[in-house]
């Protein structure tokens, strides 16, 4: 399977001279499975560029949202496949039983907040509530988990042909009060994945002021990678204030952290254009890392 990042920033898009290397667009990740299916995780501003890349073919798309906060839905009106008459798009909106959240991705296209109305799109768009039922007969396995995040949401773990990844963003590993998912449950959920993509928005200086805001500290995420014995970690959902040089430092610090613990975990800072090819189990490490040409 092929995993590509199109948006890695949290909270709000942060374009500018200090974010050129890792990118300023908000959450969006594309996965092309071996079966040929296209999964998109979140529709932040990064989905605009993905939409242009996807115009080359007309395959169906499954869009899985972690939740409906703005930084995860705001790119959707600029996702060009939604204007293609023959395109089939299935959207799972991430938060069940919450009418506001369920409607958010489509309601932003109401003719007032955006000039085109969701009802006037030419593609065939269906929203689904029961994602497990929809995925039941697919050639890959998907498992969801409740996020520790204000308003709720879901993480996704996907497995196909013996390789797996977990997409866990907008998740506070140690929130104040009772978590929806405990740290030990996260360890079990992420255990052994070939690639863990996890929210790593905060550093110690953000605390205690941002405790309870629904994001994790970088050191907590590294600890989770070790405890869950993942093969590779991609730190994701970077704070909008985090500059390229700070992320370079975090990259170095993380590589040293794993090395000093004699861990073989590959550690990456998610960046726009970074892609991973995950190959079968006999090649247990991520085999190639390519930069997409922009």
> At what angle are helices 218-227 and 244-260 packed, to 10 degrees?
30
Residues 286 and 276 sit within 8 Å (Cβ to Cβ): yes
The window from 8-16, 110-118, 132-140, 266-274 that contacts Zn ion (CB under 5 A) reads 8-16
Q: Which of 75, 266 has the CB closer to Zn ion? A: 75
Q: Does 71 bind Zn ion (CB under 5 A)?
A: yes
Least Å from the CB of residue 147 to Zn ion = 8
* CB nearer Zn ion, residue 41 or residue 276: 41
Q: Which of 42, 160, 170, 172 binds Zn ion (CB under 5 A)?
A: 170
Among the listed ranges 45-53, 68-76, 82-90, 131-139, the one in contact with Zn ion (CB under 5 A) is 68-76
Residue among 154 and 231 whose Cβ is closer to Zn ion: 154
Residue nearest to Zn ion as judged by C-beta position = 69
Please, what is the minimum distance in Å from the beta carbon of residue 261 to Zn ion?
29
For the CA atoms of 102, 105, 111, 112, what is the dihedral angle to 10 degrees?
90
Judged by beta carbon, residue 164 or residue 171, the one nearer Zn ion is: 171
CB 55 within 8 A of CB 265: no
Could you tell me which stretch among 3-11, 14-22, 118-126, 262-270 binds Zn ion (CB under 5 A)? 3-11
Name the one range near Zn ion by CB under 5 A: 33-41, 54-62, 70-78, 250-258: 70-78
* Residue with smaller CB distance to Zn ion, 94 or 266: 94
Choice from 30, 48, 49, 69 touching Zn ion (CB under 5 A) = 69
Q: CA–CA distance from 249 to each of 95, 117, 263 (Å)?
A: 35, 44, 19
Q: Which is nearer to Zn ion, 69 or 154 (CB)?
A: 69
Q: Does 244 participate in binding Zn ion (rule CB under 5 A)?
A: no
Could you identify the residue written with the tokens 């998109």? 40
- Cβ closest to Zn ion, residue 140 vs residue 186: 186
CA 200 to chain CA centroid, Å, is 12
| Peptide bond between residue 208 and the one before it cis (omega within 30 degrees of 0) | yes
Asked whether position 157 contacts Zn ion by CB under 5 A, the answer is no
Range in contact with Zn ion (rule: CB under 5 A) among 69-77, 93-101, 113-121, 260-268: 69-77
Contacts with Zn ion, residue ranges (CB under 5 A): 10, 69, 71, 170
């Amino acid at each position: 399977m092929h995993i590509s990042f199109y948006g890695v920033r949290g909270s709000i898009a942060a374009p500018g001279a200090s974010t050129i290397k890792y990118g300023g667009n908000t959450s969006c990740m594309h996965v092309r499975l071996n079966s040929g299916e296209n999964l998109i995780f979140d529709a932040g501003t990064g989905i605009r560029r993905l939409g242009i890349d996807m115009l080359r073919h007309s395959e169906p798309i499954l869009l899985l949202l972690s939740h409906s906060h703005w930084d995860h839905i705001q790119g959707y009106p600029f996702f060009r496949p939604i204007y293609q008459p023959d395109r089939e798009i299935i959207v799972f909106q991430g938060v069940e039983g919450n009418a506001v959240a369920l409607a958010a991705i489509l309601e932003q296209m109401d003719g007032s907040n955006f000039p085109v109305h969701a009802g006037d799109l030419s593609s065939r768009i269906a929203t689904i509530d029961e994602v497990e039922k929809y995925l039941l007969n697919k050639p890959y396995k998907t498992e969801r988990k409740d996020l520790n995040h204000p308003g709720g949401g879901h993480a996704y773990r996907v497995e196909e042909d013996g390789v797996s990844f977990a997409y866990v963003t907008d998740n506070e590993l140690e929130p104040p009060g009772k978590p929806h998912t405990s740290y030990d449950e996260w360890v079990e959920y992420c255990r052994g994945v070939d690639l863990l993509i996890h929210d790593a928005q905060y550093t110690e200086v953000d605390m205690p002021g941002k405790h309870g805001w629904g994001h994790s500290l970088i050191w907590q995420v590294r600890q989770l990678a070790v405890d869950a014995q993942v093969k590779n970690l991609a730190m994701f959902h970077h704070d909008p204030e985090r500059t390229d040089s700070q992320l370079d430092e975090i990259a170095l610090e993380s590589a040293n952290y794993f090395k000093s613990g004699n861990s073989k975990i590959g550690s990456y800072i998610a960046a726009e254009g970074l892609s991973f090819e995950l190959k079968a189990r006999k090649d247990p490490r991520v085999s190639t890392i390519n930069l997409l040409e922009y």
